[in-house]
Structure 1
Amino acid sequence: MSSLGHQCVDLGEIEPAGSRHLGRRSAVLLTDEQIVVGTATGDVVSFDRTLDEQWRADSDEPSGSLVTISALEGNIVAGERGPAGAVRCYDAATGERRWRYETATDLGAAQTETRFLLPFVADVVTDGDSWYVAARRYERTDGDRQFRSVVYRFDADGSVAWRYETDASPISLDVSGDRLAIAYNRCPGTHQCGLVVLDATTGAERLTWDPGTDGQRRVGDVSLVGDDVVVASHGDYHGYRLDARGGERSRIPLATPESVDGETVYAYPNHVHATDAGAVFVTGNTYPAEGRETEVRHPNEHTAVGVAPDGSQNWRESVGGFATGIGTNGDRLVVPGAQHFRDRDADAHGFCVLDLADGLVRAVDTDGVVSAATLRDGLAAAIEEPVAYHDEERRRGRYRLHVESLG
């Protein structure tokens, strides 16, 4: 498909994003034959590799934005942020729905219909036999944050093999062999471990780890490589490589507190992808140590950092804006660039493809913000969303799918 070059197709009309991030509301997946999009309106749309639409599965009732999507042996599974927090499975060839599970049955109904309070399927991954799903619901009571969350193993027919329940906030999963790793980005309750590794078959705990820092922030992402676990720590803004028992192999500062123009600022490491070639960590927005607003910028905000297997830094590359997630394939990853909500720099909209060992492979500019991206077999696919910043009288970009040939 190297002849494709760069192509895009409209996905319809949605309300534009604003200056502040509202979280994921789209998802995209590349399979051997398809490009599958989960839309902000709750539809699943399949395109062939020439971007001709194959089928469209309309949203369920009640429905929400589709924010994560995965494939296994002729099946597509999509997860919602919406009133039901549904996990939906479709026939990959026809779009016929095979099963549906409402995580709100376990998590409870939203406190209000506010987007951040809706049940949220944070991640779906597969080991080739089963799906693993992390879902959560958030509410505020007397000013305190509270979470209820469940991690599931679903068999191919939609039956639940096991559940792992906590009062913390799961943000991502990774599965390798007989291990399932869970990253918890907030732990305000009794569950005080930012990382949990389960036996993928039984759901039994095999390892727990935490950065040991004060406050609710713990782990932003996790990646399994060999017998090791690589962790992006929200607690102390470092990247860790742990052995199978949780022992520290290496630790690298990523966006640790730093004085800039007399103000102390930091940024959270939100994503990580690791293979035998090394690891890449991706950081997010600048925050001040005091308050929420700042005019200065951390030098490592919105930055991808390439780390060698021994824990030393290989390279660093700006990714322009906040990345709501990353797409991975072997030793490469694609990073979508959404809003830089402090600077609102429209020149930074787009996505970039990175190699774990060598850094930047390709950067693609877009008019709107990019909210989701994936790559496979020499292709990168990304979802552009329109954006209307509060201090501009214009709308930038459209809701569309971009496909880039990497040669």
Structure 2
Amino acid sequence: MNNSPLILLAAGGTGGHLFPAEALGVELMKRGVRVRLVTDSRALRYSGLFSKDMIDVVPSETVRGRSPWSLARTGVTLAAGTAVAFTLMRRSTPAAVVGFGGYPTLPPLLAARLLGIPTVIHDSNAVLGRANRFLSRRVSAIATSLPGVLDQDPALAVKTTTTGTPMRPAILAAAAVPFAALDSAGPLRLLVVGGSQGARVMSDVVPSAIGRLEPQLWRRLVLVQQVREEDFSRVRATYDRLKIDAELAPFFSDLPARLASSHLVISRSGAGTVAELGAVGRPSILVPLPGSIDQDQFANAGVLARANGAIRIAQGDFTPDRLAAEISGLAAEPARLTAMAAGARTVGKLDAAERLADLVAKVAGIQD
């Protein structure tokens, strides 16, 4: 293996960046390619494919403010990180460097460009993130998860390939479970999820919306909801009063399996969530996180909505009355849920890891 080509994977130290990098790493290793992860110190807590002896930590800093002092500090840290990455790459001589977004990708990708090493960036969102947007004109190739991301920029579109988001094994297993058509008299399985920024609005709106449903629908609901601990008692009290079959928890370790068993998902529309809904093929009501600079979640939800796989509701319109009307309408039209599941599946790409590995091999010149 020491003589086999090396691919460096650069990713920010969060799951949204690390999980696709891990999936690509697994596929490249199947092909006899060595991989290492270049990231920031947060990834040292990560317990997936990359053991500590496969990780190179490079100094990095996110732009956290617009003050001259903040910008100067970020610039100095990124410059120092680029110098460290430059030395790392001269020593390891990778065949290519692949970035998955986040500011920790800037130093290794910039160092690779200075050394003439082929580079690829992958972006899971329908709008390029700030780090990837900065790198986009400087890299050899761009991979996107969703179609049409760069169609309006011919110079970037020509070097862009839609690969999808490489998926972890649990999602691939969930994708093998067919959508179970809703029986008009049977249980309606509803999954409500939201990350640290999303769960509060779900706790505020969803229980009140459930309370507005017709009582005969209460008896059919099988509800699983992610709830922050500080919201737990009030959400539980509402469902207990309505006698709803509800399982509540701050975190579900088996979320892919629960996704597979659902008739309808209510969620934010982060890149990973949208990619997983497409891969598994489940209908959804998506509430984009408001206030982001790039409105990436709004754009992500739009991809599924245009495919007839989701209903996109802006947070300002996400009221108990609106949500209750949407749930009631879907429950009354089982065929529509089945059609939405099929529409969502058209967005998913289960072979994304293989597609991305093919692109990386081509750029690196290591194709069989």
TM over 0.5: no
More strand by proportion, 1 or 2? Answer: 1
More helix by share: 2
TM, length-normalised to structure 2: 0.27
TM-score (norm 1): 0.25
